[in-house]
Amino acid sequence: MIDLHGKVALVTGASRGIGRAIAIRLAELGATVVVNYFKSADAANQVVDEIKAKGGSAIAVQGDVSKFDQAGNVVKATTDAFGRLDILVNNAGTTRDNLLALMKEQDFDYIIENDLKSVFNCSKAALRQMMKQKYGRVVNITSVSGVMGNPGQTNYSAAKAGVIGFTKAMAKEYAPKGIAVNAVAAGYIPTDLTNALPQDVKTNIVKFIPMQRFGTVEEVADVVAFLASDRASYITGQTLAVDGGMV
């Protein structure tokens, strides 16, 4: 069984969707969890309340992790509260889809900042504490769009592909320091980002998934929990697809 007792985990963008499921799962396995959010204070506090209701330990910390200074403050709040940081899950991200010919420059920049630079910001901020501990687990949430590309998502695909490259490079740099860095490439998982899709689009997407169904946030969370645990102690620099066989 995966045991995360004694570990402190920071999950970015954890007020809803995949991040919420990850925060709850890590707490169920014994970790003390910091639920990061940007605007959704009520939703983040609901996650904290749910964790505490199950006997776990959690706090909510506000911060826009796409901003370098704020990401640093979120990490500092974590270490100030609990004295350590063992697990960082870089989950925060969003979409602004459009065909390339119609995409505005600010929409491209916005996604790179939120989905890629946030990973840099938080990972860099967490490094000092993890190196001091000679232990750390970083799990970056990427997407199948970053592996195979997706029409209408040049910005998102580029950002998520960047996360994969970042993961591989950071893993090689810090493996000697006891820090493992991996990525989880999520397939089509029903969240706020995908719920807005028209039903006919969803039906067509399912046709391209060998398992013939969407995944669940819990299925992603279980893989993250494994990679964040000592059961995955000899795994680093990898991207594990949770996509029903799409890639």
DSSP state of 231: G
Q: How many CB atoms lie within 10 A of CB 140?
A: 27
Token readout for 237 is: 């620099």
Active site residue 135: no
The residues that bridge with 35 in the sheet, in sequence order, are 11, 60
Look up residue 96 and give its two tokens.
């602004």
With beta carbons less than 8 A apart as the criterion, state whether 117 and 66 touch.
yes
Helix (H, G, I), strand (E, B) or coil at 244: coil
**Cβ partners under 8 Å of residue 244, min gap 6:** 187, 188, 209, 210, 211, 212, 213, 214, 215
Q: Which of 156, 174, 188, 234 is catalytic?
A: 156
Q: State the catalytic residues.
A: 156
